Amino acid sequence: MTVFHDAATQVECESITQWKKDGKPVVGYTCSYTPGEIFYAADILPVRLRGIETDGMEVGDTYFGPFICSFPKCILQLAGKGKFSFLDGAIITPGCDGMRRLDECWRKAGEDFDGIVPDYFYYFDVPHKSENHGMDWYIEEIKELIKSVEKHFNVHITNEKIKTAIKEFNKGRRVLAEIENLRFKDDVVVSGTDVFAATVAGTVMPRDVYNKELKKWCTALKKRKTPLNKGKHRVMLVGSISDEIDLFELIEDTGKALIVGENLCFGIRYEGNEIQEDGDPIAALADHYLGSSACPRMYGKYKERLAMLKERIASSQAQGVIMQNIRFCDLHGAENALFERDLEAMGIPCLRIEREYGPHIDAGRMKLRINAFLERIDAKSDQNPSQAISANA
C-alpha cells in the first residue's frame, strides 16, 4: 500500500516527479467530468487537483471570501504558494459554483503572484443535464478541448489513441471492481482507508504504472484470510468531495466501524464502470462521464441517485450511512437531507456531519458524533439483528 498512500497524501507524489523528469507535461483538472483519457492519449499526465497540505488560507480568503466551500479555496491557496509549480496546464470545470469561481479567482490571483497560472489554462464547460442537447453540448466541449490541447502542446490526438487510452483506464476499472466485490463479502479483508487511498492514487499516477501496482495489490488481497470487520459495524461514507484519507481513518480508528463502501467524487463510484471500447470513442467518453453521472449538480436525477445509493447499501451490507458535507456546500448539504429522510424511513440509520475540508480541527466533535452514531447502530442491531436491505427495497 505504500505507493498508494504516498500518492494519496502528497500534492506532488513520486510518480509526478518522475514523469516530469522524463520531460513530459502534466495537466491538472478539478472535476471528475474531465476525461483523463484525452490527456493520456497525448502522453500528458492528467492529475486531479487536490487541496491537501494546506496550512493556511490567506490566499484563498483574499480572493474567495469567507462564505464558500473550503475545497476550491484550498486549491487556490496551494496555487498561490507555488505548490502547483509542476503543472504545465490546468482545466477548470464548473462542478459547482465554487469550482466555477476558481477559474476567475486563480486568474486574478495570477496578477499578484507571478507564475502561479500555468501557460495552459482552460475552462471546460459541463451542462447540468445529459438528455438531448445536453449530451450534444458535452460532446462538442470534448472536441473543443481536444483541439485546444493539440494546439497548445503540439500533439495529435487520434480516435485510435483515445481508444487505446480508454482500454488502459478500463484495466484499472476492472481491478477496482474486483476489490469492491471483496468488500461486499461477509468477511471483509481490506479497510476502507486502504481502498480509498488506492482509488485516489489512480487520479495522480500514470495509468500503466497504477494498473500494475493495483493488480499486484488485488492479488495479495485475495490471499488474505483474516477478516477486519469482526466486532465492527459496516458503514458507508457519502457526500461532499473528499480526497483525505484521514477522514476515513477518523471513522475506522474508533475501532467500532469499517467503511465497506463510499459514494464520493474521488471514490470508486465511477472507477468501477467501464467505458465502451468499440464505436466512437468521444461518444463513449461522453456517455460515461456525463451520462452515468451521480452528482447532485445534475438536474432531475435524485431518484436515480437514491436508487444507486440503496443498491450500494444492499450490496455492501452496510448497517448505517455517514453523510458528510463541507460547510457552504449547498449541493450535498441539501441532498444529504433528502437521503437522510428517505433512508431513515426505510430503517437505515444515518448521520449527517457538516465539516471543513482540510485539517480536521474539529476532530473531537466529529469523533463524539460518530461514536454516538455507532452506539445507535448497536442498539438497533440488538432489536433487529438483520438490518441489511435488499437492492429493491
Per-residue DSSP letters for 74-108?
Answer: HHHHHHHTTTTTT-SEEEE--SSHHHHHHHHHHHH
Structural domain includes residue 90: yes
E strand spans, the chain: 26-29, 45-48, 89-92, 120-123, 233-239, 257-263, 320-326, 350-355
CATH number for the domain spanning 100: value is 3.40.50.11890
Supply φ then ψ for residue 352, to 5 degrees.
-105, 130
Question: What residue type is 196 in one-letter code?
Answer: F
Rounded Cα distance between 254 and 367, Å, is 8
8 A C-beta contact, residue 344 and residue 373:
no
Q: What percent of the chain has pLDDT over 90?
A: 84
Mean pLDDT in residue range 72-97: 96
- Residue 199: which of 222, 176, 224, 174 has the closest Cα? 176
User: pLDDT tens digits for 205-249?
Assistant: 999 999 999 999 999 999 999 999 999 999 999 999 989 999 999
Contact present, 284 and 169 (Cβ < 8 Å) = no
Q: Other C-beta atoms within 10 Å of 61: how many?
A: 15
Q: What is the residue-averaged pLDDT of the chain?
A: 92
The DSSP symbol for 291 reads I
Residue 73: pLDDT over 60: yes
pLDDT > 70 fraction of the chain, expressed in percent and rounded: 95
pLDDT higher than 80, residue 382: no
- β-bridge mates for residue 92, sequence order: 123
Q: For residue 272, what pLDDT band results from cuts at 50, 70 and 90?
A: low
The answer as to whether 147 is a domain residue is yes
Note whether residue 327 is domain-resident. Answer: no
Confidence of residue 193 (pLDDT cuts 50, 70, 90): very high
Residue 271: pLDDT above 70? Answer: no
β pairing state of 350-355 and 26-29: unpaired
The span from the CA of 74 to the CA of 55, in Å, is 9
The verdict on residue 277 lying in a domain is: no
Give yes or no for residue 388 having a pLDDT over 50.
no
pLDDT at 369 over 90: yes
Residues 339-364 have a mean pLDDT of 89
At 391, is the pLDDT very low, low, confident or very high (cuts 50, 70, 90)? very low
Residue 342 has pLDDT above 60, yes or no: yes
Average pLDDT estimate for 282-300: 91
Q: How many domains does the chain have?
A: 1
202 domain-assigned = no
Note the pTM of the prediction, 2 decimals.
0.93
Q: Is residue 74 part of a domain?
A: yes
Residue type, 242: S
pLDDT at 392: 43
C-alpha cell at 7: 500518492
pLDDT at 359 over 80: no
What domain range is 85 assigned to? Answer: 22-157
The pLDDT of residue 389 is above 50: no
At 340, is the pLDDT very low, low, confident or very high (cuts 50, 70, 90)? very high
Length of the chain (residues): 393
C-alpha of 375 from chain center = 29
Residues 119-123: contacts with CB within 8 Å, 24+ apart?
119/88, 119/89, 119/152, 120/27, 120/88, 120/89, 120/90, 120/149, 120/152, 120/153, 121/89, 121/90, 121/92, 122/89, 122/90, 122/91, 122/92, 122/148, 123/91, 123/92, 123/93
**CA pair distance 44, 28, nearest whole angstrom:** 10
Q: Is residue 26 part of a domain?
A: yes
Residue 115's Cβ-side half-sphere holds a number of Cα atoms within 13 Å equal to 6
Band (pLDDT 50/70/90 cuts) for residue 202 is very high
Is residue 261 a part of any domain in this protein?
no
Quick: pLDDT tens for 88-120. Answer: 999 999 999 999 999 999 999 999 999 999 999
